[in-house]
Each structure stands twice: as structure tokens, then as C-alpha cells.
């Protein structure tokens, strides 16, 4: 009887050992969804808009009165309309000269050398500036002719006569170039000596 009981006990222990659970296993679930890509946002730096300078449209004109004998002896000159304007620059090693010219007649020739007929005349300004190949904006002192931003003024008249503004008798003398583009120089002037007074504005094509 006892051996049978022992046998049953051994069988019970074996059954219980076979039914014991395996140690818990860690299960790692892998997702089929790939990891989200990192998005890099680049900040765009806005480009600065180019600065646009508006150049005013100037109606060129000259107001001129003179009691200089070389002027009064000539045929009457009508300055009511400025027909031709020019700006010309001559470059030298250490400076350049800009000449502004205004005429009361039409021509394609250089106003400083063109032959004049009675009644025709040219107001011109010779300006000292730095060694640039274009007119240089700024205020030019026409009371002296020495160094940069100085100059002189004169009037060409038919018959080979040139009436110069006298620096020894000048009262006021200033020319200002306010705007310069690839095509033209724009500005104004006011000059007076003992015999002659003239003022006006220009927008002279660069030749």
C-alpha cells in the first residue's frame, strides 16, 4: 500500500513540475511605421530692394541780364527757350573737367566750338572735379577756380565774343549738380558779377 502511495506522490510531483510556467518573456513590439523625418526649416533672408532715386524732370531755362559791352553790342539774344544742352567730361591724370552748356538754338555739334550766328548764344560752366569720367554731383563754387568743386562761367556770342563772369568782381557764384545718371546731369545755377546776372536749371545729356 505504501509503495503505491509513494508512486502516486512521485507522479504528482512530476506532473506539477511539467505544468510550471516558463519565465515571463519581454515582448518588444516593433512598429511598421518609419520614424518621422526631421524637418529643417531654413529661414530665408529677404533681399533688400534696390534703392531707386527718382530724378525730377527739369524744364531747362536761363534768365540772363547783362550790361557788359560785349553782350549789349551783339544782336539781341532770346533766352525764352533752351533748345540744346550738353555735359562733357575731360579726364586728366589727377582731376577732370566737366563742362555744362546751354544754348538757345538747336545743333548736334559741340556747343563750345560750334560757329554761332547772330542771335545765337551759349551759356557754359567749366567745373573742376575729381578724376571721374562722369559729372560729379555737388555744389561748385564759381567765385574761385582752384581745386575740386570750383569753376567758372561764361557766355559765347556770335562773332567770336566770349563774355566771362569776372571773378574779381563776382558777387555770387554757385552751380549745383543735384542728380547724375548714365544719360544726363541735372542741376541749377545762380551767378552775378558787376555787369551780368544769370540763373537757371538744366538737365544736360552727357556726350
pLDDT tens figures, 118-171 = 999 999 999 999 999 999 999 999 999 999 999 999 999 999 999 999 999 999
Asked whether residue 69 is domain-assigned, the answer is yes
Asked whether residue 165 is domain-assigned, the answer is yes
187 burial class (0-12, 13-18, 19+ CB within 10 angstroms)? buried
Asked whether residue 25 is domain-assigned, the answer is no
**What is the value of pTM for the model shown?**
0.75
Confidence of residue 27 (pLDDT cuts 50, 70, 90): very low
Mean residue pLDDT across the chain: 86
Range of the domain at 177: 61-205
> In the chain, count of helices (H) and strands (E)?
2, 10
pLDDT at 5: 54
In sequence order, the 6+-apart residues with CB closer than 8 A to the CB of 112 are 88, 99, 101, 122, 124, 156
In sequence order, the 6+-apart residues with CB closer than 8 A to the CB of 107 are 84, 114
Asked whether residue 158 is domain-assigned, the answer is yes
Asked whether residue 101 is domain-assigned, the answer is yes
Asked whether residue 4 is domain-assigned, the answer is no
Position 33 pLDDT exceeds 60: no
Q: Total structural domains in the chain?
A: 1
pLDDT at 108: 97
Confidence of residue 107 (pLDDT cuts 50, 70, 90): very high
The count of other CB atoms within 10 Å of the CB of residue 126 is 19
Asked whether residue 200 is domain-assigned, the answer is yes
Asked whether residue 5 is domain-assigned, the answer is no
Confidence of residue 3 (pLDDT cuts 50, 70, 90): low
pLDDT at 28: 47
Amino acid at each position: 500500500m505504501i509503495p503505491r502511495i509513494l508512486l502516486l506522490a512521485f507522479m504528482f510531483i512530476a506532473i506539477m513540475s511539467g505544468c510550471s510556467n516558463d519565465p515571463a518573456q519581454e515582448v518588444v513590439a516593433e512598429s511598421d511605421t518609419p520614424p518621422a523625418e526631421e524637418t529643417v526649416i531654413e529661414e530665408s533672408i529677404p533681399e533688400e530692394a534696390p534703392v531707386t532715386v527718382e530724378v525730377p524732370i527739369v524744364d531747362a531755362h536761363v534768365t540772363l541780364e547783362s550790361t557788359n559791352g560785349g553782350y549789349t553790342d551783339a544782336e539781341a539774344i532770346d533766352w525764352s527757350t533752351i533748345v540744346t544742352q550738353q555735359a562733357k567730361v575731360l579726364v586728366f591724370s589727377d582731376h577732370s573737367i566737366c563742362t555744362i552748356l546751354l544754348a538757345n538754338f538747336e545743333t548736334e555739334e559741340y556747343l563750345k566750338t560750334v560757329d554761332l550766328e547772330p542771335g545765337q548764344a551759349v551759356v557754359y560752366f567749366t567745373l573742376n572735379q575729381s578724376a571721374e569720367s562722369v559729372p560729379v554731383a555737388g555744389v561748385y563754387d564759381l567765385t574761385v577756380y582752384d581745386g575740386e568743386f570750383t569753376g567758372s562761367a561764361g557766355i559765347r556770342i556770335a562773332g567770336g565774343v566770349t563774355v566771362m563772369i569776372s571773378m574779381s568782381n563776382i558777387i555770387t557764384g554757385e552751380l549745383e549738380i543735384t542728380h547724375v545718371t548714365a544719360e544726363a546731369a541735372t542741376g541749377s545755377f545762380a551767378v552775378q558779377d558787376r555787369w551780368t546776372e544769370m540763373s537757371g536749371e538744366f538737365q544736360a545729356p552727357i556726350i
